[in-house]
Amino acid sequence: MLQGLLLSGAIRAALVLAAGLVAYALLARAAASTRRFILVLTVGAALVVPIAAAVSPRWRVEAPAALSVFAHEAEPAPAATVHTTSPITERTAPAPAPVSSSTGGLDPTEALGLGWLLVAAALLARLGSSQLRARSLVRGATLVERGPWGDATHALAGRRVDVRVSAEIDSPVVTGLLYPTIVIPRDALGWTVDRCRLVLVHELAHVRRRDVLVQAIADVACALQWCNPLVWLCARKLRVECELAADDTVLAAGVQPTRYAEELLAVATSLRTPSAALAMAERGSLETRVASILAARPARAPLAARGTISVVAVGALLAAAAACATPELSSPPPMTPRTGTANDPAIQRAVDAELAAIATAWSPEVATIIVLDPATGEILANGGRRSGQPIDVGSMTAMAPGSTLKPVTIAAALETHAITPTQTFECGPGPRAYGDKLLQDASVNGTLDAAHILAVSSNIGASRIFDALGGANLASWLRRFHFGDPSSVPGAAVGAVPAQLADRSYEGAAAANGIGMTATPLEVIAAYGAIAGDGVYHAPTFDRGGSTPERILSSETASAVMTMLETAVVDETATGGAARVAGIHVAGKTGTAKFRGADGHDQTYASFVGVADLPSRRLVMLVGLQLRTDLSGGKTAAPAFARLVTRLRGN
């Protein structure tokens, strides 16, 4: 996510810099002070816009997929208490991964982000060193209190500005971010009063405009956006325009251009100046300045107050647009269901729109959303993306369901009377050991009932319920919920379920937590459909009319688990808090399964399966994202579920 924010910020800053440089070019015949002002606004905006983009509200703008770089920006989840479900860990080796693994390495995008930060840190350190050298120059210089330097300074500035003399420089400079000081070479003590006054007018123009601080801000922008040539170009032009604007101030005081050019050349010797100071006669810009001084240019007056306000207003509007406008990728054509007869076009459109929003917010490698009618088993909408392209993820991809399987474990234990709804279990305070393997929770928990085991997604709590249920019973109930059975959907994949589970074993505890087994999103949503459908299972189907009903749970068990799933959303400790929708009854469970992908990179399958009682009917919806980042289902999938419910509220 960090590298995405850096890249997006760089692009936004580049747009601001390009716009500012275009405006600068169009004002080539304007006063130097006006051009300087444009460049100051541009550099400041380039520094602020990337930061503002990371924290400001988004203005969603429909855009083509070519702008998918902005999709790497993290979209904040709704304010809610969210806890990440920890994976099962071992002392000696990682738990078996649900996907084939290989030796991993540093992600190239992560390396790019790290390299960017290291170079920026080095450049900032160099700037800090330059500031320290400038301060050392001032401390080592002697204060000039008498003569034309001291008297003229007070008279011209209207306030005291220190003038110091140093043997370490060859030309007058001004330095100091907040309290500027003019430092002159020792030879300057013998200069004529006229030359002293001319130099002071120039340097005090820098003081009044805070040019040292302005240049420091430009240097920081260059450090943070070091790979963008536009920011270096802008900073270099700003330094020149600051000098030209100060030159215009001298000429406006009545000094003849030819005489001022001669004096400027006279003080332009081999310069020894810290980069944090502004030298009066920098050789790099001397030719440009002399040409500007001698040119017959009528436009030397600074920008009027009304013009300044107008420029600032336009600049602020453009900067806000650059910071807040975020392309929302155009939705790919909706994926056509296998038969098309059960598909609800309005729900499908909402699913496709939410998949586009997910792509913009998280840029997942794989994403799926399925909407099921629990009363019939009809798949009302089915959307999936892999690498941005439409694909039937829900039917064709089996993944570790993670904690979304815990309600199935609890339902089996309740149905067999292995536990009661109010029974409590010890869930902490530390990990649970299985020989050389550890089972742990994301948070420290004490004694919890089944509802709050779901709410906080306690792995240890689910293992205690597994102990009461037993390995044979769990394996049997996974089959009863049709996990690992041939699908009723032609050509659909089938998840892998352990044939046997030993009592009080690590493998059994893993399965009770949805790890060490796989299931397709279609299998998972069908299981939730049975819980939401009063205990009656309907095989998922794309055909209108649904499938044959099969009671697998009693009404009492289904009702009890539904109440627990509601707690897993509405409780203040619930990991699914971000799935809440005002005015809609919502129940559901988050899931977070971490594994090593086939490409050797760490992956996370973050999901949320929920039940929403809309005004017209009850729907079960699954949202799943496969990410290369360590993000939970509560952070990513639950907010997407809430947005989808909001989209469907009126249907």
Band of the pLDDT at 569, cuts 50, 70, 90? very high
Of 105-109, 143-147, 187-191, 451-455, the one with minimum mean pLDDT is: 105-109
Q: What angle (nearest 5°) sits at the alpha carbon of residue 288, between those of residues 286 and 289?
A: 65
**CA atoms within 13 A of residue 361's CA, in its CB half-sphere:** 21
Please measure the distance between the N-terminal and C-terminal CA atoms of the chain and give it in whole angstroms: 35
Give DSSP secondary structure letters for 191-255: S-HHHHHHHHHHHHHHHHTTHHHHHHHHHHHHHHTTT-HHHHHHHHHHHHHHHHHHHHHHHHTT-
Q: What is the mean pLDDT of residues 522-531?
A: 97
Q: What is the mean pLDDT of residues 291-308?
A: 63
Q: What confidence tens digit (pLDDT) does each residue in 159-170 have?
A: 668 888 888 888
Q: What is the mean pLDDT of residues 207-232?
A: 88
- Highest-pLDDT range among 81-95, 245-259, 492-506: 492-506
Confidence (pLDDT) at 32: 84
Strand pairing category for 59-63 and 325-329: parallel
Q: What confidence tens digit (pLDDT) does each residue in 477-497 have?
A: 999 999 999 887 888 999 999
Which of the pair, 556 or 154, is modelled with greater confidence?
556
**Do 152 and 196 form a contact (C-beta atoms < 8 A)?**
yes
Number of H-type helices and E-type strands within the chain: 20, 20
Greatest C-alpha distance within the chain: 105
Confidence (pLDDT) at 163: 87
Confidence (pLDDT) at 330: 46
Q: What is the mean pLDDT of residues 130-144?
A: 88
List of residues 6+ apart from 24 with CB closer than 8 A: 35, 38, 39, 42, 237
Size of the chain, expressed as the number of residues it contains: 651
- Highest-pLDDT range among 96-110, 320-334, 626-640: 626-640
Task: Pull the structure tokens for residue 624.
Answer: 């799943």
Band of the pLDDT at 333, cuts 50, 70, 90? very low
Of 98-102, 270-274, 307-311, the one with minimum mean pLDDT is: 98-102
Q: Which amino acid is at 465?
A: I
Confidence (pLDDT) at 460: 96
* pLDDT mean across residues, the chain: 82
Q: What is the mean pLDDT of residues 256-275?
A: 71
Of 304-318, 390-404, 451-465, the one with minimum mean pLDDT is: 304-318
- Highest-pLDDT range among 23-27, 111-115, 309-313, 472-476: 472-476
Whether the predicted model's global pTM rises above the 0.75 cut = no
Q: What is the mean pLDDT of residues 412-435?
A: 94
**CA gap 322, 51 in Å, rounded:** 11
pLDDT at 63 over 80: no
Q: What is the mean pLDDT of residues 10-37?
A: 84
Confidence (pLDDT) at 241: 86
Confidence (pLDDT) at 347: 95
Q: Is the peptide bond before 429 cis (omega within 30 degrees of 0)?
A: yes
Give DSSP secondary structure letters for 102-162: ------HHHHHHHHHHHHHHHHHHHHHHHHHHHHHHHHHSEE--SHHHHHHHHHHHSS---
Strand order across the beta sheet in which 389-390 lies: 389-390, 379-386, 366-372, 618-627, 602-613, 585-596
Confidence (pLDDT) at 202: 86
Which of the pair, 461 or 50, is modelled with greater confidence?
461
Residue 88: what are its φ and ψ, rounded to 5°?
-75, 135
Give the percent of the chain with pLDDT over 70. 78
Query: What are the sequence ranges of the domains in the chain?
Result: 2-67+109-321, 341-648
Q: What is the mean pLDDT of residues 102-118?
A: 62
Q: Cα torsion at 12, 17, 20, 25 (round to 10°)?
A: -140
Distance from the Cα of residue 141 to its chain's centroid: 47
**CA gap 235, 640 in Å, rounded:** 43
Q: Which amino acid is at 399?
A: M
Say which residue the tokens 């420089």 belong to. 169
**CA gap 157, 144 in Å, rounded:** 16
List of residues 6+ apart from 635 with CB closer than 8 A: 77, 82, 84, 578, 606
Minimal CA–CA distance to 608: which of 336, 342, 358?
358
Task: Pull the structure tokens for residue 574.
Answer: 């619930």
Helical packing angle, 555-570 and 521-532, nearest 10°? 110
Strands (DSSP E) found in 501-567: 536-538, 549-551
Minimal CA–CA distance to 16: which of 64, 55, 52?
52
Minimal CA–CA distance to 36: which of 246, 260, 330?
246
Residue 434: what are its φ and ψ, rounded to 5°?
-125, 85
Of 91-105, 348-362, 519-533, the one with minimum mean pLDDT is: 91-105
Band of the pLDDT at 17, cuts 50, 70, 90? confident
Q: What is the mean pLDDT of residues 124-142?
A: 89
Band of the pLDDT at 156, cuts 50, 70, 90? low
Write down the CATH number for the domain with range 341-648: 3.40.710.10
Confidence (pLDDT) at 320: 62
